[in-house]
């Protein structure tokens, strides 16, 4: 059997950082040096190539142009390689994995995001295990075909569907959660693949990379006591086209008439508003309570059990695709890449 060819895409993040001894701060460093720190890579039974961002970044600096760059790299190497591992800072990794999941339509190969909490040179680093297992998962084949055919996120022994994840801890090695969808693969003595949860939808359509994203979007998290001026100023932001409204519990918002009136005006003016719960797990159920019934009447988009990360990137993606206002709500409420129920 021929060896899998894996492409490592290094964007930055703690995994490849070194300590600046003067200031004590972590900063990104040269990718080739990073690979030299992991002699174990030579033992993996696959061929590994790598490309790196010219200037590796802390993922807090990620923006839509970086997502387009990652998508472009995958597009260029799509035919020649069997799988992709994206090394990325953990801070915004769930956003990037979600964005890429939409941008890579009809993906038939694995794209695995990973990173680490401690730099690779650190004695107690989690980087080596995360990197090595991500490569092994990207190289998994069955009957000559990749086992994983979607954008995943691997961290601390678990592969998740990327667009279902959230960073939940800034300190623990177990930094990510996927509360509304089970892990796809677990790593113990053996790799346990949960085939029943993998993306298996067959598409006859060609792999397509979408590189237009519209970032005229915002997230507004409700809190008890938020005032009309704040709501108004967000809703009236120039060029704002999409808003993720983080509501309480199962999608509830205050029933004060000024709240509903402001939302109604914004929707009439063409703003797409998505109802997403602030809870890390569970789903919006529009109409379950009186406090969400009104939102339903306003035709606010039901974000169901989508994460905020997957919702905001879905808005950017769909706005970039020039979907008509009439069909926008229906398309948003449809699971495109397994990001919602």
What residues act catalytically? 14
Candidates 9, 58, 244, 313; binder of ligand ASP (CB under 6 A) is 58
Least distance between ligand ASP and beta carbon 335 (Å):
28
Among 90, 101, 130, 247, indicate the residue that binds ligand ASP (CB under 6 A): 90
Q: Which stretch binds ligand ASP (CB under 6 A): 31-39, 56-64, 121-129, 316-324?
A: 56-64
Give the nearer residue to ligand ASP in terms of CB position, either 14 or 302. Answer: 14
Identified binder of ligand ASP from the candidate list 13, 110, 242, 251, rule CB under 6 A: 13
Q: Are 245 and 274 in contact (CB under 8 A)?
A: yes
Which residue in the set 82, 91, 156, 246 belongs to the binding site for ligand ASP (CB under 6 A)? 91
Q: In whole angstroms, how close is the CB of 18 to ligand ASP at the nearest point?
A: 13
Tell me, by CB under 6 A, how many residues bind ligand ASP. 11
Minimum distance between the CB of residue 35 and ligand ASP, rounded to whole angstroms? Answer: 17
Report DSSP state, residue 61: G
Question: Is residue 290 a contact partner of residue 318, using CB atoms and an 8 Å limit?
Answer: no
Nearer to ligand ASP, 170 or 238 (CB): 170
Q: Which of 52, 59, 307, 308 binds ligand ASP (CB under 6 A)?
A: 59
Which SS3 state, helix, strand or coil, does residue 245 take?
strand
14 part of the interface to ligand ASP, by CB under 6 A:
yes
Q: In whole angstroms, how close is the CB of 127 to ligand ASP at the nearest point? A: 9
SS3 category, 229: helix
Residues from 34 through 53 that contact ligand ASP (CB under 6 A): none
Q: What six digits make up the tokens of 222?
A: 């409700």
The pairing of strands 141-142 and 151-155 is unpaired
67 contact partners, CB below 8 Å, separation of at least 6: 96, 99, 100, 103, 213
**How far is the C-alpha of 6 from the C-alpha of 238, rounded, in Å?**
43
Rounded Cα distance between 82 and 1, Å, is 13
Q: Which is nearer to ligand ASP, 14 or 275 (CB)?
A: 14
Q: Residue 26 or 331: which CB sits closer to ligand ASP?
A: 26
> Taking CB under 6 A as the rule, does residue 89 contact ligand ASP?
yes
Our finding on whether 166 is near ligand ASP (CB under 6 A) is no
Show the CA angle centred on residue 114, arms to residues 108 and 115, nearest 5°.
Answer: 165
Separation between Cα atoms, residue 285 and residue 119, nearest integer Å? 41
In the complex with ligand ASP, the residue whose CB is nearer, 125 or 163, is 125
CA 129 to each of CA 154, 185, 231, 239, 326: distance values in angstroms, whole numbers, following the listed order: 10, 14, 45, 44, 47
Distance CA 280, CA 142 (A): 34
CB of 315 to ligand ASP, least distance (A): 22
What is the C-alpha to C-alpha distance for residues 113 and 215, in angstroms, rounded to an integer? 22
Query: Contact with ligand ASP (CB under 6 A): which of 56, 83, 110, 115?
Result: 115
DSSP β-bridge partners for residue 4: 46
Q: Least distance to ligand ASP from the beta carbon of 14, Å?
A: 3
**16 sits near ligand ASP (criterion: CB under 6 A):** no
Residues lying near ligand ASP in the complex (CB under 6 A): 12-14, 58-60, 89-91, 115, 117
């Amino acid at each position: 059997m021929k060896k899998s060819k894996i492409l490592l895409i290094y964007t930055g993040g703690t995994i490849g950082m070194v300590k600046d001894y003067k200031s004590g701060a972590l900063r990104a460093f040269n990718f080739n040096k990073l690979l030299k720190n992991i002699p174990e890579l030579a033992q993996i039974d696959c061929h590994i190539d790598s490309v790196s961002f010219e200037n590796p970044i802390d993922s807090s600096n990620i923006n839509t142009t970086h997502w387009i760059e990652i998508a472009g790299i995958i597009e260029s190497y799509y035919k020649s390689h069997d799988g992709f591992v994206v090394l990325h800072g953990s801070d915004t990794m769930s956003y990037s994995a979600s964005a890429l999941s939409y941008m890579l339509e009809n993906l038939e190969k694995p794209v695995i995001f990973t990173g680490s909490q401690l730099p690779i040179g650190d004695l107690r680093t989690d980087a080596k295990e995360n990197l090595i297992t991500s490569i092994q998962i990207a190289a998994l084949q069955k009957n000559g075909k990749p086992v994983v055919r979607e954008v995943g996120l691997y961290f601390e022994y678990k592969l998740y569907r990327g667009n279902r994840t959230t960073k939940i801890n800034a300190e623990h090695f177990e930094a990510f959660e996927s509360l509304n969808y089970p892990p796809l693969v677990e790593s113990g003595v053996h790799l346990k693949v949960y085939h029943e949860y993998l993306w298996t939808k067959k598409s006859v359509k060609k792999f397509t990379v979408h590189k237009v994203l519209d970032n005229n979007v915002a997230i507004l998290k409700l809190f008890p006591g938020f005032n009309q001026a704040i709501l108004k100023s967000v809703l009236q932001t120039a060029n704002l086209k999409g808003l993720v409204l983080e509501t309480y519990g199962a999608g509830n918002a205050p029933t004060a008439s000024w709240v509903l009136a402001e939302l109604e005006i914004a929707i009439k003016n063409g703003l797409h508003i998505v109802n997403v719960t602030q809870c890390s797990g569970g789903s919006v159920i529009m109409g379950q309570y009186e406090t969400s019934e009104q939102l339903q009447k306003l035709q606010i988009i039901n974000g169901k059990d989508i994460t905020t990360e997957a919702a905001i990137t879905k808005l950017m993606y769909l706005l970039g695709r020039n979907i008509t206002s009439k069909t926008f709500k229906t398309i948003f409420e449809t699971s495109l890449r397994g990001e919602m129920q």
